[in-house]
């Protein structure tokens, strides 16, 4: 795909413990095109956050990108020097985290936290304050001139999340990675933040959004294209309407059935039996096979690869290879 | 004499937390966590209490099981005011009402095995010998579908998944055959696939044991799947109360409508068409205004809403709304 803004190929990122290796991201390939909202959906432990953090190499010391490429505008972020990467991180690709309370410095005024990021990447220009006010206005914070002098504790959760988005936007990035941006917020505030993110992507040319979430509702509302992750692997890729209309992978199907049984009346409640596997020692073959209702002998023997099924792609032995 | 009283009746309960407890502070300011709530719950049914953070729902839940004393008002359980009970009576009340907390990580002692957690209720209340209690624990695990039980009895909480931990917490809550279980966000820390199975389990337990749930949640849709009646709480007050179907079909309070419209539904065909009209954020719970508390966010507010506080009124049979201009 030539119009890809971000192209991730066969990425592997492992965590190294004292005696074990956690294969958190295991051969993941994905792409984000210009102006696109792409979702990575999965349950806790599926590796979706680990994938997001790997993309800008925001990783703890015991984590290592073992192999693969992260191509962004002609550069491979996986092998880029740290000094070079810093110019991209926060400027070209920025991040919005789940919990706004922990990602703002409680002792620093809002205005300073935003200008820090701008001056770091663009130098101390004379119109710095104007830029800061503009970025607050862009995320619909009322009376931005006043909010500049606030400390984080003077803002509500929703307002703090808006500030984080303002920081992420401040250097006019081409890609924002948002990791569960609304999970810590109340429903009505969540709606406002989702609305804001949607408007931003629509309005700003060249801005793409990679949205990490566990919530299929958020996916349905926000995303153009979706990757479903399970146990460190992508098991399905589809455009949003195909994903919900005709989920291909049994895991996607089971997730949707579970969500629908809660959200729509009159359906019998169905969960998925079993637990997410331990990634130090994942199941052989297809990692979902111990929980899969369609499991066949081959599923535990050989690992399925992603193949085209209509407009979707899924990694499952149910679908015959052409 | 037959008891005609409902299983649980909450009467005009208020809980205020005064601010500034310093020596020189004479401030009368207070956080109005719960501000005049009345509710009834019949045997064998589920009441879902829905509200966002800070609405006072958890405080109310804890008042109901007697963990917090209200500033005003009373809680009647089987016709008895629970805060008047002392000593033995108060202790035995615990066998009839129990609570499941949101986070099983925090509500299970990390140093105690599942066996310990599940035998303690019987031993504390002197209802069984140790070996009988062991057997009861075994059956409890079967009831919450942690089978075979011998696989789980000697595990510590860290050896269980989130869903399994919450099942242990449920088993502990139903151990002594309570009539009422207050469940405070029982599934919100769980993954979607696990959520559905835990809710299903709660439904099964209810039909097997005939107990009542007071289910606290921030998620209106989740509440629907399990509740007979839903109460919507906002800023310390109940703003709407109705049978579940009625509430979903004819939401009458602007806040209820906003909640329904704000929840992202897992279907792109529906989710994309939703328009939202709720702006802003709630008033501070410190000395809230003496007019409608939702007025700061209400798209339909009128002058009257800024002058007086509406009261809960029955707009249709069994459908109560606290709004001057119900929709």
Q: For strand A208-213 and strand A37-41, is the pairing parallel, antiparallel, or unpaired?
A: parallel
- pLDDT tens-digit map of B216-253: 999 998 899 889 999 999 999 999 999 999 999 999 99
Q: Do residues A236 and A313 lie in contact, with contact meaning Cβ atoms separated by under 8 Å?
A: yes
Whether A198 contacts chain B with CB within 8 A: no
CA angle B272, B277, B282 (to 5 degrees): 125
Res B23: pLDDT: 61
Q: Which of A215, A216, A262 is closest, CB to CB, to B222?
A: A262
- Residues of chain B found within 8 Å of residue A156, distances taken between Cβ atoms: 281
Which residue has better confidence, A261 or A231?
A231
Q: Measured between CB atoms, which of B164, B193, B197 is closest to A43?
A: B193
CA of B134 vs chain A CAs: smallest distance (Å)? 26
Which of A154, A188, A211, A215 would you mutate first to test chain B, the one with the most B CBs within 10 A? A188
Question: Which tens digits make up the pLDDT trace of B247-268?
Answer: 999 999 999 998 988 888 888 8
Q: Measured between CA atoms, how close is B264 to chain A, in angstroms?
A: 4
Chain A to chain B Cβ contacts (< 8 Å): 126
Per-range mean pLDDT, top range of A137-146, A217-226, A272-281? A217-226
Q: Beta strand A233-239 with A63-72: parallel, antiparallel or unpaired?
A: unpaired
Q: Which of A216, A220, A241 comes nearest B192 by C-beta?
A: A216
| Predicted complex ipTM | 0.83
Cβ contact (<8 Å) for A188 and B191?
Answer: no
Task: Measure Cα distances from A178 to A14, A40, A97 in Å.
Answer: 22, 10, 6
- Contact between residue B117 and residue B167 where contact means Cβ atoms under 8 Å apart: no
Q: Find the mean pLDDT for residues B162-167.
A: 93
- Length, in residues, of chain A: 322
How many CB atoms within 10 Å of residue A59? 15
Strand-pair partners of A94: A176
Is the pLDDT reported for residue B143 higher than 90? Answer: yes
pLDDT band (50, 70, 90) for residue A250 = very high
What band does B277 get if pLDDT is binned at 50, 70 and 90? low
User: What is the per-residue pLDDT for B35?
Assistant: 94
**How far apart, in whole angstroms, are the C-alpha atoms of residue A151 and residue B280?**
19
Nearest alpha carbon to residue B215 among B58, B47, B63, B56: B47
A221 at the B interface (CB within 8 A)? Answer: yes
Model pLDDT, residue B29: 85
Nearest residue of chain A to residue B163 (CA atoms)? A275
Dist CA B187 CA B54 (whole Å): 19
Q: What is the per-residue pLDDT across B43-76, written as a single tens digit (0 to 9) for each?
A: 999 999 999 888 999 999 999 999 999 999 999 9
| pLDDT tens sequence across A81-136 | 999 999 999 999 999 998 888 889 999 999 999 999 999 998 888 889 999 999 99
Give yes or no for residue B3 having a pLDDT over 60.
no
Q: What angle do CA B152, B156, B162 make, to 5 degrees?
A: 80
Chain A residues lying within 8 Å of B272, measured CB to CB: 220-221
Q: Which residues of A touch B262 (CB under 8 A)?
A: 187-188, 190-191
Model pLDDT, residue B24: 61
Report the candidate in B43, B75, B64 with the shortest Cα–Cα distance to residue B211: B43
B4-44 tens-digit pLDDT: 679 999 999 999 998 876 666 666 788 999 999 999 999 99
Nearest CB to B191: which of A187, A214, A218? A214
**Rounded CA separation A215/B88 (Å):** 46
Predicted local distance difference test score (pLDDT) of residue A1: 44
| Binary contact (B262, A190; C-beta < 8 A) | yes
| Residue B280: closest C-alpha in chain A | A189
Per-chain mean pLDDT for chain A: 92
Question: Residues 223..262 of A with a Cβ closer than 8 Å to B: which?
Answer: 240-241, 244, 254-256, 258-262
How many helices and strands, by DSSP H and E, does chain B display? 11, 12
From chain B, pick out residues whose CB is under 8 angstroms from the CB of A254: 193
CA angle A78, A82, A83 (to 5 degrees): 135
Mode of pairing for the β-strands spanning B80-81 and B72-77: antiparallel
Residue in B188, B191, B243, B275 to test binding to A, most A beta-carbons within 10 Å = B191
Q: Cα A107 to the chain's mean position, in Å?
A: 28
Rounded to the nearest angstrom, the minimum Cα separation between A210 and chain B is 18
Q: Is A176 helix (H, G, I), strand (E, B) or coil?
A: strand
Cβ contacts of A187 on chain B, cutoff 8 Å: 52, 218-220, 259, 262-263
Chain A residue with CA closest to B264: the answer is A217
Residues of B with CB under 8 A from a CB of A: 52-53, 161-164, 191-200, 203, 218-222, 224-225, 248, 258-259, 261-272, 274, 276, 278-279, 281, 297
If you average pLDDT over residues A238-256, what whole number do you get? 96
Give alpha helix (H) positions in chain B. Answer: 57-64, 87-93, 104-107, 114-124, 130-143, 162-174, 192-209, 220-224, 244-249, 254-262, 268-271
Q: Which strands make up the sheet holding A208-213, listed edge to edge?
A: A93-96, A175-179, A208-213, A37-41, A225-230, A233-239, A312-314, A307-309
Query: How far off is chain A from B271, nearest CA to CA, in Å?
Result: 5
Chain A: give the shortest CA distance to residue B85, in Å. Answer: 37
Residue of A nearest to B189 (CA): A44
What is the SS3 assignment for B16? strand
Lowest mean pLDDT segment, chosen from A87-96, A178-187, A231-240, B14-23: B14-23
Interface residue A188 vs chain B (CB under 8 A): yes
């Amino acid at each position: 795909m030539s119009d890809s803004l971000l192209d991730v190929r066969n990425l592997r990122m492992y965590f190294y413990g004292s005696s074990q290796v956690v294969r958190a991201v295991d051969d993941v390939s994905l792409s984000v095109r210009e102006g696109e909202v792409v979702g990575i959906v999965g349950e806790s432990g599926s590796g979706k956050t680990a994938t997001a953090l790997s993309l800008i190499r925001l990783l703890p010391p015991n984590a290592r990108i073992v192999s693969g490429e992260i191509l962004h505008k002609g550069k491979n972020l996986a092998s880029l020097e740290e000094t070079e990467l810093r110019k991209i991180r926060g400027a070209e690709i920025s991040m919005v985290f789940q919990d706004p309370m922990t990602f703002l410095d409680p002792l620093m005024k809002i205005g300073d936290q935003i200008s820090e990021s701008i001056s770091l990447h663009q130098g101390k220009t004379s119109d710095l304050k104007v830029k800061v006010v503009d970025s607050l206005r862009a995320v619909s914070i009322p009376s931005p001139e006043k909010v500049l002098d606030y400390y984080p504790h003077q803002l509500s959760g929703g307002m703090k999340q808006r500030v984080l988005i303002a920081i992420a936007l401040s250097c006019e990035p081409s890609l924002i990675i948002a990791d569960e941006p609304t999970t810590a917020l109340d429903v009505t505030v969540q709606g406002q933040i989702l609305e804001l993110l949607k408007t931003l992507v629509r309005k700003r040319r060249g801005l793409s959004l990679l949205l990490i979430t566990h919530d299929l509702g958020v996916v349905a509302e926000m995303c153009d294209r979706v990757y479903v992750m399970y146990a460190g692997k992508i098991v399905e890729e589809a455009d949003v309407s195909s994903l919900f209309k005709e989920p291909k992978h049994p895991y996607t199907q089971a997730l949707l059935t579970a969500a629908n049984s809660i959200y729509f009346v009159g359906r019998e409640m169905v969960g998925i039996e079993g637990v997410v596997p331990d990634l130090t020692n994942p199941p052989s073959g297809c990692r979902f096979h111990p929980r899969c209702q369609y499991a066949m002998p081959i599923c535990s023997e050989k690992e399925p690869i992603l193949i085209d099924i209509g407009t979707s792609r899924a990694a499952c032995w149910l679908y015959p290879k052409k | 004499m037959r008891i005609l009283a409902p299983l649980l009746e909450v009467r005009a309960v208020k809980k205020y937390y005064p601010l500034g407890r310093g020596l020189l502070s004479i401030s009368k300011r207070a956080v109005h966590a719960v501000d005049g709530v009345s509710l009834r719950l019949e045997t064998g049914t589920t009441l879902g209490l829905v509200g966002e953070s800070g609405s006072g729902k958890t405080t109310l839940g804890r008042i109901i099981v007697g963990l917090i004393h209200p500033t005003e008002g009373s809680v009647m359980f089987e016709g008895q005011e629970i805060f008047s009970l002392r000593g033995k009576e108060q202790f035995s009340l615990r066998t009839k009402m129990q609570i499941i907390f949101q986070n099983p990580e925090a509500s299970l002692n990390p140093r105690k095995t599942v066996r310990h957690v599940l035998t303690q209720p019987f031993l504390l209340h002197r209802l069984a010998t140790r070996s009988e209690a062991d057997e009861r624990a075994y059956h409890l695990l079967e009831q919450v579908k942690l089978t075979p039980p011998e696989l789980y009895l000697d595990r510590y909480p860290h050896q269980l998944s989130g869903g399994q931990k919450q099942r242990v917490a449920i088993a502990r809550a139903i151990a002594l055959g309570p009539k009422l279980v207050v469940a405070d966000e029982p599934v919100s820390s769980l993954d979607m696939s696990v959520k559905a199975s835990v809710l299903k389990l709660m439904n099964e337990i209810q039909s097997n044991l005939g107990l009542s749930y007071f289910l606290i949640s921030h998620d209106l849709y989740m509440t629907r799947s399990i509740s007979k009646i839903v109460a919507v709480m906002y800023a310390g007050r109940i703003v709407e109360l109705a049978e579940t179907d009625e509430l979903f079909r004819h939401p009458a309070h602007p806040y209820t409508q906003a909640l329904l419209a704000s929840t992202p539904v897992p279907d792109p065909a529906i989710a994309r068409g939703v328009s939202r009209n709720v702006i802003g954020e709630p008033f501070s719970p410190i000395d809230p205004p003496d007019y409608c508390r939702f007025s700061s966010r209400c798209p339909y507010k009128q002058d009257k809403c800024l002058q007086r506080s509406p009261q809960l009124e029955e707009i249709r049979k069994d459908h109560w709304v606290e709004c001057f201009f119900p929709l």
